[in-house]
């Protein structure tokens, strides 16, 4: 137990017949932003309790590591494996760990890896998808167009992180945290630290990504893969129950296995900083946006519960506006003074008609007599003549009973008429 330092685990004479068994989940956890993942080893003691006896930490460059800092993982390579005869239904977490171990070993054994000095560990490989795979082929001996389904297979989509070996190390990340005043060295919690780099710093890793694609095009890689699976499955099965079950196939099936495709995805340098800026902008707009939504909600509630009253108020306001306009129009009519002006000169026939609009709303019609009403001095009138001999919009200024033309057609002479 915990008091005796765990002596019951090894059977030191206190309980010689006791054999500890593995308990708990002996799997590695997710990769943290510090580019590390931890495995907890637990065993049962003589009391039947599951106790932690060890922790194993390994470097990793998937998941949180590099997700916000593209400088740590500038490239990832995706590859699709087709394992002929394998059963995807038997896949478990132990199978995933076995696959990572086997793939990292196969990469390290390939000649290209030796030449490029590429170091890939199980923590740099992530399994994205595992699903059954059925291919359709057209038989050669039959002239029909019917396709025949082949034997079942398993498709595995994996991701390999091409990481910056100069930056993506725990000691480097802790140094960045110390500079920022956070982390264990700064006496605070671990937080995301934006690590910057230039695009020129990632060129060498682009060549590594290309080397991986060339490696996966090699037909011999699948032979290395199956050889690695056979080498690690014994130890894997001892730690993870039935981890090799999906890969338990015969030799002929392994020869039909292949790599369907592979491609490289480039991470954008500075993407993490842009994401943080966008998050800050969104949080800055959150308060006014919430206020606007609140106003719309209040307005909607008013119309919902007081819709009839609001409509009645709008109708009342519109009726009041119409009544006011009519009152103003009637007031203007009452203010209008109408003066009849006759034509003193016989040169203009009685059929000529004028309309005069001034500050006092004069209107000139067909009149035989002239009213002796004084015209206000310095008033301006516009004469619109129907006859073609007089142009429209002739403007006169009447000063002390004398008319003076200030605009209009030159063919019309003011002296041809008399204005009283």
pLDDT of residue 371: 45
Question: Binning pLDDT at 50, 70 and 90, where does residue 38 land?
Answer: very high
Question: Binning pLDDT at 50, 70 and 90, where does residue 239 land?
Answer: confident
Name beta bridge partners: 155.
82, 131
Q: Which residue has the tokens 């001034």?
A: 358
pLDDT over 70 for what percent of the chain? 53
**DSSP 8-state secondary structure symbol assigned to residue 358:** -
Report the Cα 299 to chain-centroid distance in Å: 30
Asked whether the whole model's pTM tops 0.75, one would answer no
Question: Binning pLDDT at 50, 70 and 90, where does residue 285 land?
Answer: low
**DSSP 8-state secondary structure symbol assigned to residue 31:** P
Mean pLDDT, the chain, integer: 70
Does pLDDT of 346 surpass 60? no
Residue with the larger pLDDT of the pair 293 and 10: 293
Structure-token pair, residue 325 = 């306009």
Does pLDDT of 7 surpass 70? no
Indicate the domain borders of the chain.
1-59, 68-135+148-269, 285-334, 354-416
Measured on CA atoms in the order 280, 61, 208, 169, is the torsion positive or negative? positive
pLDDT of residue 330: 62
Question: Binning pLDDT at 50, 70 and 90, where does residue 212 land?
Answer: very high
- CA angle at 123 for the pair 118 and 126, rounded to the nearest 5°: 100
Among 34-43, 136-145, 312-321, top mean pLDDT goes to: 34-43
Using CA atoms, how far residue 366 sits from 353, 358, 396, in Å, is 6, 18, 19
**Dihedral through CA 299, CA 302, CA 303, CA 305, nearest 10?**
150
pLDDT of residue 305: 59
**Mean predicted confidence (pLDDT) in 84-105:** 93
Question: Binning pLDDT at 50, 70 and 90, where does residue 323 land?
Answer: confident
138 and 147 in contact (C-beta within 8 Å)? yes
pLDDT of residue 228: 92
**Mean predicted confidence (pLDDT) in 186-192:** 48
C-alpha span between 383 and 189 (Å, rounded): 90
Residue with the larger pLDDT of the pair 195 and 236: 236
Structure-token pair, residue 306 = 């007081």
C-alpha span between 198 and 325 (Å, rounded): 72
Out of 24-38, 106-120, 142-156, 369-383, which region has the weakest mean confidence (pLDDT)? 369-383
pLDDT of residue 259: 95
C-alpha span between 364 and 368 (Å, rounded): 12
Residue with the larger pLDDT of the pair 231 and 4: 231
Does pLDDT of 222 surpass 90? yes
Does pLDDT of 277 surpass 50? no
Q: Are strands 258-266 and 354-357 parallel, antiparallel or unpaired?
A: unpaired
pLDDT of residue 377: 45
Among 153-162, 273-282, 358-367, top mean pLDDT goes to: 153-162
**Mean predicted confidence (pLDDT) in 297-324:** 68
Does pLDDT of 278 surpass 70? no
The 3-state DSSP class for residue 33 equals: coil
Measured on CA atoms in the order 328, 331, 335, 338, is the torsion positive or negative? positive
């Amino acid at each position: 137990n915990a008091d005796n330092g765990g002596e019951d685990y090894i059977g030191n004479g206190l309980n010689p017949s006791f054999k500890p068994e593995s308990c708990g989940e002996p799997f590695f956890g997710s990769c943290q932003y510090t580019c590390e993942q931890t495995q907890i080893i637990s065993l049962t003691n003589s009391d039947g309790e599951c106790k932690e006896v060890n922790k194993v930490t390994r470097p990793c460059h998937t998941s949180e590591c590099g997700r916000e800092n593209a400088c740590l993982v500038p490239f990832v390579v995706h590859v699709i494996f087709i394992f002929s005869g394998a059963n995807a239904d038997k896949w478990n977490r132990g199978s995933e760990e076995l696959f990572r171990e086997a793939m990292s070993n196969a990469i390290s054994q390939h000649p290209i890896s030796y030449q490029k000095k590429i170091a890939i560990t199980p923590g740099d490989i992530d399994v994205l998808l595992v699903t059954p795979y059925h291919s359709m082929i057209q038989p050669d001996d039959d002239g029909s167009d019917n396709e025949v389904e082949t034997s079942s297979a398993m498709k595995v989509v994996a991701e390999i992180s091409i990481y910056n070996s100069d930056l993506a190390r725990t000691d480097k990340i802790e140094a960045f945290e110390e500079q920022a005043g956070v982390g264990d060295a700064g006496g605070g919690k671990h937080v995301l630290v934006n690590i910057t780099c230039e695009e020129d710093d990632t060129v060498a890793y682009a060549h590594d990504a290309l080397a991986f694609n060339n490696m996966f095009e090699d037909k011999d890689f699948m032979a290395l893969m199956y050889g690695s699976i056979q080498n690690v499955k014994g130890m894997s099965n001892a730690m993870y129950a039935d981890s090799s079950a999906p890969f338990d196939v015969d030799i002929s099936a392994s020869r039909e296995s292949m790599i369907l495709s592979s491609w490289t995805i480039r991470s954008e340098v500075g993407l993490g900083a842009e994401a943080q800026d966008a998050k800050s902008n969104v949080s800055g707009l959150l308060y006014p946006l919430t206020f606007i939504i609140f106003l719309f909600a209040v307005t909607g509630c008013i119309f919902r519960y007081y819709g009839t009253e609001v409509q009645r108020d709008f109708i009342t306001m519109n009726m009041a506006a119409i009544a006011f306009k009519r009152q103003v129009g009637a007031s203007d009519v009452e203010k209008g003074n109408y003066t009849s002006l006759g034509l003193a000169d016989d040169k203009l026939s009685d059929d000529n008609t004028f309309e005069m609009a001034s500050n006092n709303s004069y209107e000139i019609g067909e009149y035989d007599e002239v009213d002796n009403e004084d015209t206000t001095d310095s008033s301006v009138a516009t004469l619109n003549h129907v006859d073609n001999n007089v142009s429209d919009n002739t403007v006169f200024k009447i000063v002390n009973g004398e008319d003076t033309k200030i605009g209009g057609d030159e063919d019309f002479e003011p002296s041809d008429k008399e204005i009283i």
